Structure 1
Amino acid sequence: MKWAEKLRGSLHAQADSLGNLCVEAFHYLALFGIGAITAWAAVSAFLGMVEKGSVSVDDILLLFIYLELGAMVGIYFKTNHMPIRFLLYVAITALTRLLIGDVSHHNAPDLGIIYLCGGILLLAFAILVVRYGSSRYPSVKEKSDS
């Protein structure tokens, strides 16, 4: 019966290795796809600005959103950890872009501006909480030199 147990262990190890290979292959393909689509969208937006012949603050903030998405993909590619703070930065930039567009196109202030500012403040507070949590309770324990 030892041979059966040894065969089962070997089969389990091979299936585990094959499964890990498939998951990692999908992971890298998806990252390259997301990165390529982000770069394509950024180049397309930039060429649209050049074609238009002028650039607005909305356009610049859109390029910052693409930059943050690209940085997020790069960090995820290198560390295999989702940088939640970058998602929050993207959300803040998107709300700021919406706020600037709303203020520049609609001169009458309304309650929507307060909601957008409150959302930005809430996201900024969330970044503070995430930063505090990651510094106080790191997910990876540092090895001591003792």
Structure 2
Amino acid sequence: MTPPTPTCRIVRPDATYGGLQGFNYFEGISAQSTGATGLCMHMLVIPPGGRAKAHLHEAHETAIYVISGEAEMWYGEDLAEYMTVRAGDFLYIPAGMPHLPANRSTTEPCVAVLARTDPNEQESVVLRPDLDARLAQRTGSEP
């Protein structure tokens, strides 16, 4: 598919797509939807109990703003670091940083807006199943 010529466009998040990370994303700004050449931006709803696959974005930074709910994230070379992000928080993830976000709530979704410096959102995603297994061993949870 040939990307559209860049111009001012409205993108309504009516459609979703399945990401390699294991989540469904609402379509937003990307090379494919608008012809963007330096960024992508979309909305993510992590359902209650939802968990991504361990991954990294090879050469692209990520910025996240949490609109509602709460998510936890393991990150770092062995996913040994841990943080919780809540509604109103901004989160920065540097390029090449392994991470695995999840929603521990059993009732509330976590809604966030994500922006990356990769206009082709899925092209720089590298799955790390080795880290899923390592985290599962440490925490006793399913990968």
Asked if TM exceeds 0.5, the reply is no
Question: TM-score normalised to the size of structure 2?
Answer: 0.26
TM-score (normalizing by structure 1): 0.26
Which structure has the greater CA radius of gyration?
1
Q: Which has the higher contact order (CA 8 A, sep 6+)?
A: 2
Higher helix share: 1
